[in-house]
Structure 1
Amino acid sequence: MHSDDIERRAERWQRMQDAFHEASELPRDEQRTRVESRSDGDATFVTHVMAMLEEDVRADSMLDLGLAQVATSLLDTTAADGVPDGDFGPYRLVRLLGEGGMAVVYLAERKDLGSAAAIKLMHHAWMSPARRERFASEQRTLAQLNHPGIAHLYDAGTLPDGTPWIAMEYVDGQTLTAWSRANALPLTARLRLFREICEAVQHAHGHLIVHRDLKPSNILVTADGRAKLLDFGIAKQLAPEGDDAGATRTGLQMMTPAYAAPEQIRGEPTGVHTDVYALGVVLYELLSGRLPFDVTGRTASEVEATILGTDPVRPSVVARAATHGADASGASWADLDVLCLTAMHREPARRYRTVDALLRDVDHYLQNEPLEARPDSAGYRTAKFVRRHRTALLAAGAVLSVIVALTTVSAQRIRAARDTAVREAERAQQIQRFTLSLFQGGEQTSEPGDSLRAVTLVERGVVEAATLAAEPVVQAELYQTLASIFQRLGRLDRADSLLQRAITARKALPTDHPDVARSLTALAELRVAQSQLPEAEKLAREGLAASRRARTPGHRDIAVAATVLGKVLEERGAYADAIAVMREALALHTALAPVSPDVAEASTQLGNDYFYAGDYAGADSLFRQSRAVAQALYGDRHPLVADALINLGAVQFQRGEFAAAEKYDREGLAIIQHVYGDNDPRTAAALTMLGRALVAEEKFDQAAPLTKQALAIREKVFGAMSPQVASTVNEMGITALRTKRYDEADAHFARNVGIYEAVYHGPHNLLGTALSNRGSVYTARGDNAQAEKFYRDALAVYLKILPATHLDVGIVRVKLGRALLRQRRYADGEKESAAGLAILLAQTSPATSFVKNARGDLAQMYDSLGQPAKGAAMRAALADTTKK
């Protein structure tokens, strides 16, 4: 179909929709007159709209539900067979995978990487704004989710004719029920697979997203037995109270009746409880081999009567009849009946309140523990205990006495478990309400990165959190979240005070609780930002150890804790140790989801470690890996791709390939500006890096306006006294120094000294750098006594927080040696230059310019000290360095 035809049909269809909506509000005897008045004398137009109105009368209502389906049949606009042409970004369509009412799915291949993807292409996009919005909603939903059990969104776009498409992870597998049958899974294996599905659904709920169409055909199992949740086409974002009363109803045409919850059938609001019901149906089918209700071929009214008016047969009865339950005892099946039918209860209030609660009972069953959903009977509790500990009890010969003693203890335990379940649900609801309400009512037209507005809103959150003293677990979580926001805004003191409040609120928790581990890790990360490295390392190691105790091997919390420890070690200059830790973190993230933001970010951090260790080849490889992962996830124009490009530019800069560095920096800047605009702090950071490359190429006229623009952005967003501002000021100082504008250079570096002293309230490696740079200005001026003072101040700062073998220590000692040489203090100068040179040579890839400086200076000093042999040897080494 040509684009002109599409536009004409779209325009005609819009007129038909308008006529339909207008006429549907009128009495039936007035409808034809209104339609004819909108038809421009087109009899076919009138016929089609009147047919749609008749369909509206026969059906329940097709507004927002079936309008496009009716129009498709009336207008005969079926899609062409085969693989369509079109621009799908980096993807090439290979073959058809499947087709549904709203979309068709193709297998695709990424042209540059050769990786597979699934391209979902909307049917008849020009016909229905409601369907286009649902398609766009699915795209937005997938973009929020990052879980190994949910198919990832890679990219999205629109064809020239307006047809939207999305690229998703291609899952090569069988449907849940087909996999279970084909592999003859035993009962426990089916339950463990069901657990994976629940965890994926819970992840979506954690992002306030309800799936609303859970069924085995939307759950694929890969060859290695991993479940993947698909198709968020009718998913819904939760409102603050769980779902809005005016929710768009899904209707039978937008869901699968056999898995639909009663509230969906009745057209009532949906929420977490709707997905809990569907999970119960999925579990019923997994356990028994058939659906609880047979609604095949039924009319809408018959489906409603069946699901709302009859009770399902217990899955145990169905399974025994079909021999599906051979590996479960009668007592075990009683628990499974309760578990399954509680999830499927007709009344939402009688179901599990959250998927977490359902998961807990699955775990209780697998561990032969009492279910939280079971009636609290002594006989039930003791029977579970005996099954769990049968061998030990018989061996001790004390079954009766233990059972009697246990009855009281277990009763307390069950009550505690139920209380925990209630608290978990209430906690989730409070956090949900808080998160949704915190930023409501704020100014929506603020420029990107408006930190003043952010601080005001977060302070409002602190006041709200203070009212939750009766709920310390919830309060602690909120305090930690708010602390993280303040840390990102550069308000480190405020972040510290809130994090301490979170830790205080968690004092009652056991030491091996996951929240305690998270507190330690968060505090370690803050201490890194505050340059309190010894305490940061201690906390990071404690946090990692606590995460290993609190979580199962391979859990994401362990990878996050390892990443924070890696940051500490990197800041401390222990690059070999940082590399070892970050390799573990990257391996953990990769095992959880090989193509994920976590993998991209961990690759970047490990690349930074290699970079600082001087292994530029290793850094280059990891930055390229990070870029490839980010491109696979998001396409070519995403901030993570930009970060990787700018990091690749930094590698080229260190290699002396300044033109290549400029190229990468420009590509990264273009993406950042495209995403965030010209006035965002991330744009300022990219401008600063590009300015640095231009200065190295001596393109000072091009660099100056960029750094000036970056400074203006950062001062507006972060305020004049911020590390972000200091970063740009530093580059301006270097430019002034290289162009011999010494007063201007010193003013820039002096400003940075003031910023770092005000922000960090003590020693920090950036403060040391600013002092060292002031020394460089005075060296260039020939005022070596003043230069010596600044170098010694910088060295004192470094030695308080960095190991004596750190690269920065080596550089400043070489600089100090030169200042002493030029004061003709040869013995003192030789001591500093030799020590600095030894530190530099111990690095994986020494800072070559400073190695040359040290060797040249030492050659002069040895001659002046009457040690010509040492002087000659140093000149020979210098010549060798120059050749390299």
Structure 2
Amino acid sequence: MGLWACLAAARAGRRHGAPCRRCRMTHAMDPQAWQRLKVLLAEGLSLAVEERPGFIDRVCGEDDALRRELESLLAASDLSGTPLDSHPSEQLLDALGMPSTPAWIGRRLGAYRLVALIARGGMGEVYRGERADGQYEQQVAVKLVRESLDREFLRQRFDAERRILATLDHPNLAKMLDAGMADDGSPYFVMEFVDGQPIDAYCESGQLGIEARLRLFRTVCQVVEYAHRQGVVHRDLKPSNILVTAQGVVKLVDFGIAKRIGPAGGTAVTATAQRALTPEYASPEQVRGEAATPASDIYALGVVLYRLLTHASPYGDTTGDNYALTRAICDTEPLPPSRAHDAAGQAPSRALRRRLQGDLDAVVLMALRKQADHRYACAEALGDDIFRHLEGLPVQARRGALSYRLGRLLLRHKAVAGAVLFANVALIAGIGVASYQAVQARQQRERAQHHAQSVRRLANSFMFEVHDAIAELPGTTAARKLLVQNSLKYLEELSAESTGDATLRMELAIAYRKIGDIQGRAFTANLGDPDGALKSYARGVALLDGMPGEAAQRELVNLYKRQAGVLVMRVESAGALAAASKAVAIAQGIANAHPDSEADLMLLATTHGQHAQAMQGAGKMDDFMVESEKAATLLRRVLARNPDQRDAQLYLSSHYSQLGDRYLERDTTPETSKLAYDAFSQGVALLERALAAKPDDALISARIGSMSDDVGRALLRLNRPAEARTQHLKALAIWDRLSGADPANARYRFERAHSLGQLGTALIATGDTKEARQRLQTAVDIFEGLPAGSQQDAYPRYTQAANLFHLGQALLAQGDKPAAKQRYEQSVAMLDDVEKRFGTGAGNVSAQDVRAAIERLASAH
């Protein structure tokens, strides 16, 4: 029996007044003594058996009751239950005696071959792998469950880690790319390979200054905040789990002991897993065996920051003395970083001391407060204080810091501190805090007045110049969001004081449009939040409503077009048609006033294209053809003047895509399918010429990926499945590359799932049901990891239902009838929902088709 099993039995015995059957003792002690016993037991279990008698003598002294309890618990701990109950050193010795790992090296798991062992931990082994299917070159990290030990328990923890990773998607998290089962039944998952150093080693090797370290650390806060918002507590934040690449990109790794936050805001914990921690970075509540919460991760961030700034531990020199370390974590207030001595015992230099005094001392000490509810409320708040310090703004940590320290002092010396002393100290503290806050308020007003214009210029620079410069580069979705959101925040603050400023209203409207694009603009890189996008576009429209001038009118066209695009995806046809009609009317007036303006011709052409899409969504196919041809005619006029006009090439390719879709929806004859194939092929050829001129353009690559899948659909209609497979593999390679470079992009992830589904359908047609099953299962898994907003849109939801149906077909072809039936039932439930909410679409799979398949399966029995 290990520490937490023994304590659980002891606590049960204490509640009921009965002896613990394993420990042969009774437990009747007050809560304070109980807490002390837990700390001493943890310390004793970390010692070798021969060292324990001396330890007991030293800590128990004349306290015979404590001695009996501690000796009994330590004796009970020698009874082994599961491998996690044993001392880590015993597990290490066990690991050293395990079979050697080279048996895995050279083996292939899915599309990857294992080439070298990277690391071995308590639950798994991590290998460096490489893509082995010839599609493209890629280095990955592959994690497998370790052999031996408590195999079933490790599988459960491994599956929990895999499920957690599947829901996380952030540019500063190592992305999960794939998962599966090895031939021997061992589960594995494939991760992005991070070639980096621990954050402390990176800072030292690069000799980074304080500001550079703080900027890296702020990124860590942002990614931890993201995990917390997804309901995940990491529980093991330390430098070795925070890697930095040679390019300076932070990557948070190893969610092996992470835990989901329960509905009530706590964590669902198990006794064994709770002790899997790194003591030097553990919070007081973790050391005491209590549930870890987001506040525990904030404490660990405080320890990491302390070490980055001081090269020292906040607990002084406790090397090898676990008892002293435990006491320091739970009871001892750390020295401010400006007074810390490094590992060599050296005090900070005068320059470093001056740099750390004040703000940084306060920030670090607030993160390291012993009571969880006195720390930063969230990781974002900690990161925000780092930003405020870097910008020369007052930090929130200095508010109330004095009263906190005085409160801790009184708690530690309450026998000395009487009521009078408390009242006087509180009065002094109150006067000091009030004076400080008054000075701070005056400084903030002065700074606000002095920097208002410079802040506005900076916000516009980030929003227009920097954002637009990176908008078409892969991997920049999250960076664009951060740029525009921060710019918008500053502009909104200024707007409250400048309500009559028309130029500022225009700037805000454009900012809302760009935020909406990042949140959920249809068919572009986005975060999968269509509801948020519609709200942002509506705020932009409200700002410009009634504003004179062509600049405001052009921006209104852009906002209405985007509203229509999102509403088309949601199959809200009436709203889409209304927004698109408004856009066309305004754009036509602008173009009439400037008939020779290429920009205004483009604006009108794209607006007709959006109107055509709304017509198609509403089922008005004759009107769709008219509007689509209007758009194409205008685009051809632009290309006749300027053959390399990139946007005209992109939008004309969209015309060919819509035209091909129309043919596929019309009927299934070979003649019509050939017309669709020709239209899609024209679009791809146009895009490939555009890409040759701009090879790094992610938008053009994405369009080629979409239209390659379209070509594959048409080829399958023409009964040419092998050629269709080639087109879908081409599309999949594009989506793999784009989603790998931009993990935050929900649209890329969905398109990858869509291509996998299309590929699976083509593989079924070729008779390769084994690979079809694998591809379709991966597509289904990707969809389940998409943001909730994306999962509710009509097209992604229909696509998932179709993938489930085709997965059922592949399972049935392999003889797995129960699994096929399960997938059919999932598919029909989703299709019923889609058809109820959005109407019957023109897709290849309907709820009626799936019900017929279920009936055939039932009759076969």
Normalised by the length of structure 1, the TM-score is 0.49
Structure index of larger Rg: 1
Query: Highest relative contact order (Cα 8 Å, sep 6+), 1 or 2?
Result: 2
Normalised by the length of structure 2, the TM-score is 0.50
